[in-house]
A and B are shown apart, each in its own frame.
Chain A
């Protein structure tokens, strides 16, 4: 209905003569509200779209969802009862709406493998993935940004080529393979790091979860041996995941920086006699900070994708491993729940970076 109104309004607008249009100056607040409404509609439809995608994943399943619950040998009555309980006889739209309703109340179904509600599982494992992604993000920002900026400033030199190779490798080498190779070198051959999991087995369960982030919890509780073990376990997957964000962040910061360096104000600043370092960091860098922030937010979403594979390689008990276990066990509720969570996090990050961009960049005001 709202759309129909909009369309008719647009049509009636075109019937105004040019002078009339010129007089219709909408209130600034009205513009903001309309824009906000537009954003909210976009977010809600995207969220519904995500829900529809996960819903259709559940429906695409070639195996009979009833038989998945009851087992293959089942009487007609039991089959019909389960069929009706699952609501499979109802129209697709009704089924979809009831799915949306259930998700909205936090009911993501029960996992056939762990026997727990999906939400409980997700809440328990989510911090592990976030911890990994944060470490990767820190590596990505601390290495990627300086690398990209140096590559831009010293364009065409060795460092620029190195940055290019780093990025190309990051975009070409599959992350699971890097993980396997790193395990082979650093764990099997050099024995520098821990193997799978978040800590060594004998440390497991020693730390009472406060935040769920093992590094923080063990440090707060003063259990430094656990902290050390946890650090030894996270360093390799974190660094590898971080490498992939370095590949992306360095490329982006390089091109942002090049764009700034070609501006006339840089020439002016240089002509005034300002030092190279000052021009780069005080002038150019300040202008790309907001863009960099957006890129990092987007990278964080990409890290979740990489986490799925790297967690599988390193046996990291997070969202990715949960998802792939669900895949292997054909536990569709788990798959739907995990995909939905990753999608929702991705969406939230997109919205946040959009909002941040609007707040921080004066040009968008």
Chain B
């Protein structure tokens, strides 16, 4: 009468699936995997969100496999074949230096990915640290940190990033620093709000009674709790970050030539736009696609996490 576990597995799907659906998760890893699974089940009901996710995955794949996707070098010039229109040989034509536009788009995906990853890696910890400290300590620390956050928040991001990028000098690293300087405040605000709701929780009081220092409480207990919502927020803001980065690149403050960057490609194509529109068409579409992908994923994520807010 009793089913063997193997039979049960076969009925309920794989053992992994059973593990994901166990009513009582054993340990934090299983519980967060279950949470993630639940989120995914809701997320995959959003076709647009899935489309966005597919584009982001595509971006990563293209960036990783760039040399396999094109035989052309994105940097080597070929003045004889400059500004040739799209053809079987050059799918998206060539630019004013005779470089294959498709190759430059493909390698430009690396630049975009580089910016996305570095900005996230800088902004998330920075916002987390400032936000959690502000929320946990309260009082004068909160006052000062939030005032600084407000100052950064109250100015247009691109203009501020422009100023910093100009001051630091052109270059991809400096552009990333400049963007990060303007992108952390919303993260800090969010982390602060999360911390405020956690601060009074019993488990924090218990840890404190055990003699944990504020540093331990923040880094070991509060910070990890804020990470999921911060990741979501960074995803939501990424579309704006990509647009800002493209704007900086367009103004010549991003990656420096000859390295391919989509914004800069559109800028150099300007002069030849009237006769060779393909030089600017492709990078613009690439930027819009990636930014759109993050917008779509962000919308779906917001829906998954807060079904009430979306209509």
A172 within 8 A of B: yes
Binary CB contact string for chain B from 279 to 305 against chain A (1 if under 8 A, 0 otherwise): 011011001110110011000000000
Given A7-B140, A180-B266: A60 touches B311 (CB 8 Å cut-off): no
**Closest A-B pairs by Cβ, 8 of them:** A49-B151, A177-B284, A60-B167, A172-B292, A305-B156, A57-B167, A339-B163, A172-B291
A62 within 8 A of B: yes
User: Which B residues contact A (CB, under 8 angstroms)?
Assistant: 139-140, 143, 147-148, 150-151, 154-160, 162-164, 166-169, 239-240, 243, 246-247, 250-253, 263, 266-267, 270, 273-274, 277, 280-281, 283-284, 287-289, 291-292, 295-296, 311
Cross-interface CB contact of A327 among B148, B157, B162, B296, cutoff 8 Å: B162
- Which A residues lie within 8 Å of B243 (CB)? 171-172, 174
Q: Determine if A332 and B167 form an interchain contact, defined as CB atoms under 8 angstroms apart.
A: yes
Binary CB contact string for chain A from 244 to 263 against chain B (1 if under 8 A, 0 otherwise): 00000000000100100000
In whole angstroms, how far apart are the Cα atoms of A62 and B150 in the complex?
A: 28
Q: Determine if B148 and A174 form an interchain contact, defined as CB atoms under 8 angstroms apart.
A: no
- Which B residues lie within 8 Å of A175 (CB)? 247
Beyond the given A50-B154, A171-B240, could you list 10 further A-B residue pairs with CB under 8 A, ordered by the A residue number? Answer: A42-B147, A56-B167, A172-B295, A174-B288, A176-B250, A184-B274, A188-B274, A301-B156, A324-B251, A347-B154
Cross-interface CB contact of B250 among A7, A54, A174, cutoff 8 Å: A174
In whole angstroms, how far apart are the Cα atoms of A53 and B167 in the complex?
A: 11
A166 within 8 A of B: no
Binary CB contact string for chain A from 205 to 230 against chain B (1 if under 8 A, 0 otherwise): 00000000000000000000000000
Binary CB contact string for chain A from 119 to 151 against chain B (1 if under 8 A, 0 otherwise): 000000000000000000000000000000000
Output the least CB separation between B311 and chain A (Å): 5
Cross-interface CB contact of A305 among B158, B277, B291, cutoff 8 Å: B158
Q: Determine if B311 and A155 form an interchain contact, defined as CB atoms under 8 angstroms apart.
A: yes
Binary CB contact string for chain A from 272 to 315 against chain B (1 if under 8 A, 0 otherwise): 00000000000000000000000000000110110011001100
Q: Determine if B280 and A180 form an interchain contact, defined as CB atoms under 8 angstroms apart.
A: yes
In whole angstroms, how far apart are the Cα atoms of A326 and B160 in the complex?
A: 14
7 contacts between A and B (CB under 8 A): A46-B147, A49-B147, A49-B151, A173-B284, A174-B263, A175-B247, A180-B266
Output the least CB separation between B254 and chain A (Å): 12
Cross-interface CB contact of B157 among A174, A180, A305, cutoff 8 Å: A305
Q: Determine if A180 and B270 form an interchain contact, defined as CB atoms under 8 angstroms apart.
A: yes
Q: Determine if B266 and A335 form an interchain contact, defined as CB atoms under 8 angstroms apart.
A: no
- Which B residues lie within 8 Å of A232 (CB)? none
Output the least CB separation between B272 and chain A (Å): 11
